[in-house]
Structure 1
Amino acid sequence: MNAIPTTHFEFPNQTNVYHGKVRDVYDLGDRLLMIATDRISAFDHILPKPIPFKGQVLNQIAAYFLDEVADIVPHWLLATPDPNVSYGIKCDPIKIEMVVRGYLAGHAWREYKAGKRILCGVAMPDGMKESQAFPRPIVTPATKADEGHDEDISVQEILEQGIVSKNEWEQLESYALALFDRGSAMARDKGLILVDTKYEFGFHAGKIYLIDEIHTPDSSRYYYATGYEDRLNQGEKQQQLSKEFVREWLMEHGFQGLDGQVIPEMPDEFVQEISQRYITLYEKMTGKSFEPAAGNDPLERIEKNVLAFLNTNNS
């Protein structure tokens, strides 16, 4: 299985390329081409080994969910010319991530366990257990860092720094909660619980657009609904479909992204387990069988498909 660690293409009308943690973003003027590589990141570090089919899974899940929420908010995606590629409207990104949490897990749980009851200016009730549902979903935004760690930020700080106006914030919050509600309902239909997730937005022609991916295992945490209550009551870890198990493996091997720590080498068996978990989530969420993209050379396939698409759409 040939994984895609990175890409270095030269497409017509290309003005720039940005290599993110997972995606390589090609600037084509008023349009963007995003290639989902098989890189995987955790604790804001790219791990050494790519994960076969991960990029295809992310790209196809994101396209599936963007189509399902088009009635809630306009989004950037126009086409998927290849299983690993998305093409759409270039927006001016808003430099915050809208993190929505329905349950006490992950970063929120680690903060809570350390004694904190305020996260991003939002109060968390006393007496909660790990994986317990909040009385209602909360929005805990984070700064969107170009490099290094994203940082928690409160609504007050967002407004004081002029990142968005009060009206724009209220629109972002409304969109984020509506998207989370839709994602939660879709997850329930598939026997899953959408625990928490993040959304990113941008401006285009004076309007707020949903950008990037949504409801993927890189941006979201899912629990299996079956057995959730029993595990919660017994204080057991939830069975989940998300990237959290990768973070847990790294922590068990002495890595949390802190200065001086060395990223441990993932054995091939663990890499294949990660790949299979991504495929399982795709099939669980979409109800479709995963079909690996054809061809032995994914880079050659991507370039061929993208050039054919651009030639057709620019003619």
Structure 2
Amino acid sequence: MRILSEAYFPELPNYYRGKVRENYDLPDGRRIIISTDRLSAFDRILACIPYKGQVLTQTARYWFDATKDICPNHVLDYPDPNVVVGQRLDILPVEIVVRGYLAGTTGTSILTLYKKGQRTMYGITLPDGMRDNQELPEPIITPTSKAFDGGHDEPLTATEIVENGLLTKPQWETLSQYALRLFARGQELASKRGLILVDTKYEFGIDKSGAIILADEIHTPDSSRYWITDSYHESFQKGERPRSFDKDFVRSWVAERCDPYRDDIPEIPTKLIEETSAVYIKAFEAITGLRFEPDNREATPLERVRRNLTPFFSGR
């Protein structure tokens, strides 16, 4: 299988390895971000999924292009299907999640909190009597702040964000307007493709002038939840989860066979990895309406990325 498991190039400066992406900061203020095929879950790398990195980069590219009239983004160039070159930004310390439905499984999701009896969360009050996966009266922002010691995300209100000095009031107003407009555009275009954009995560930074810039990725299968529109109403009436791009085959398979936080990960079947790759590709085509064209130039993806990044090697 053609996979990009890592992308370390000693010819590039200021290397930083994330769970999925490799990063290099150039002296001129640009950042090279390479999406590998690594699949991260349970705070560890489980496997590599062929073409996952290309799918994420190209899906984000589609959305960055489709939303650049709403707010500025960090993109400068795409020298390779797995690579974006962007502005280096100071990332704001607030994670923005916009939600259009009462859904989610994490401890900070509004469905989890709602089932615990909470009606006021993130500074917003939801009505009684709502059901799982019900559409909200209007999309809401549910911001969180990640602890600096690697702890859990903590729910925040707009007032807390400003009073704690995480953002200024003008920054929060600009950021929240951007997020809601981006989400509205996402839902609009997704509906034309027979999809529902349920919720999504945004990351913003500021450039040297202090302008707020959209960073990282946007509306990808990893940062967003999509449902298939045709399945939604029937599933909702039955109290079932609507159909989605179920790419968590590997995660579920591992969790059924061990404690993924403590035990060694068993060998994952090749067929399971291939099925997950197919789901990512299907998601790309459904979300963008474009045909996925795997870039199989060079003997390996790593050699292809190296060739395409060679012009940057002198930029130390």
Asked whether the two chains share a fold, i.e. TM above 0.5, the reply is yes
Query: Of the candidates 97, 110, 113, which is equivalent to residue 111 of structure 1?
Result: 113
Offset of 1:121 from its aligned partner?
Answer: 3.0
Contact 2:70 2:181 in 1 (8 A): yes
* 1:274 corresponds to: 276
Structure 1, unmatched stretches of 5+, are: none
222-231 or 109-118: which moved more? 109-118
216-225 or 295-304: which moved more? 295-304
Count of residue pairs the alignment pairs up: 307
RMSD over equivalenced CA pairs, Å: 2.3
CA displacement 1:172-195 (0-9 Å, x = unmatched): 100000000000001001000000
Secondary structure class of the residue paired with 2:59 = helix
* 1:78 corresponds to: 76
Contact 2:2 2:301 in 1 (8 A): yes
Rounded Cα–Cα distance in structure 1 between residues aligned with 2:146 and 2:85: 22
Rounded Cα–Cα distance in structure 2 between residues aligned with 1:195 and 1:300: 37
* 1:155 corresponds to: 158
Q: 1:157 to 1:244 in 2, by over 3 A?
A: farther
Contact 2:123 2:158 in 1 (8 A): yes
Q: 1:280 to 1:60 in 2, by over 3 A?
A: same
* 2:203 corresponds to: 200
Offset of 1:232 from its aligned partner?
Answer: 0.2
Q: 1:118 to 1:42 in 2, by over 3 A?
A: farther
Contact 1:102 1:134 in 2 (8 A): yes
Rounded Cα–Cα distance in structure 2 between residues aligned with 1:298 and 1:178: 36
Offset of 1:252 from its aligned partner?
Answer: 5.0
Secondary structure class of the residue paired with 2:272 = helix
Rounded Cα–Cα distance in structure 2 between residues aligned with 1:249 and 1:110: 23
Q: Which amino acid aligns with 1:121?
A: G
* 2:189 corresponds to: 186
Rounded Cα–Cα distance in structure 2 between residues aligned with 1:142 and 1:78: 28
Rounded Cα–Cα distance in structure 2 between residues aligned with 1:159 and 1:262: 43
Contact 2:19 2:45 in 1 (8 A): no
CA displacement 1:170-224 (0-9 Å, x = unmatched): 1110000000000000100100000000111111122110011000011000000
Secondary structure class of the residue paired with 2:155 = coil
Q: 1:165 to 1:242 in 2, by over 3 A?
A: farther
Contact 1:221 1:243 in 2 (8 A): no
* 1:239 corresponds to: 243
Q: After TM superposition, list the pairs within 5 Å mapping 1:91-240 onto structure 2.
A: 91-106=89-104, 107-144=109-146, 147=150, 149-204=152-207, 205-240=209-244
CA displacement 1:70-113 (0-9 Å, x = unmatched): 10001100111000000011111101111000011113323322
Rounded Cα–Cα distance in structure 2 between residues aligned with 1:48 and 1:246: 8
* 2:9 corresponds to: 9
Secondary structure class of the residue paired with 2:203 = strand
* 1:38 corresponds to: 37
Q: 1:144 to 1:118 in 2, by over 3 A?
A: same
Secondary structure class of the residue paired with 2:6 = coil
* 1:21 corresponds to: 19
Q: What is the aligned-residue identity percentage?
A: 46
Offset of 1:128 from its aligned partner?
Answer: 1.5
Contact 2:250 2:272 in 1 (8 A): no
Q: After TM superposition, list the pairs within 5 Å mapping 1:245-284 onto structure 2.
A: 252=256, 260=262, 266-284=268-286
Contact 1:59 1:85 in 2 (8 A): yes
Q: 1:254 to 1:174 in 2, by over 3 A?
A: farther
| TM-score, normalised via structure 1 length | 0.89
Offset of 1:229 from its aligned partner?
Answer: 0.5
| TM-score, normalised via structure 2 length | 0.89
CA displacement 1:15-56 (0-9 Å, x = unmatched): x1221121111111300000001112235x233211111000
Offset of 1:125 from its aligned partner?
Answer: 2.4
Contact 1:201 1:209 in 2 (8 A): yes
Contact 2:122 2:155 in 1 (8 A): yes
Query: Of the candidates 287, 303, 306, which is equivalent to residue 306 of structure 2?
Result: 303
Rounded Cα–Cα distance in structure 2 between residues aligned with 1:93 and 1:62: 18
Q: Which amino acid aligns with 1:7?
A: A
Q: 1:264 to 1:311 in 2, by over 3 A?
A: closer
Rounded Cα–Cα distance in structure 2 between residues aligned with 1:168 and 1:245: 39
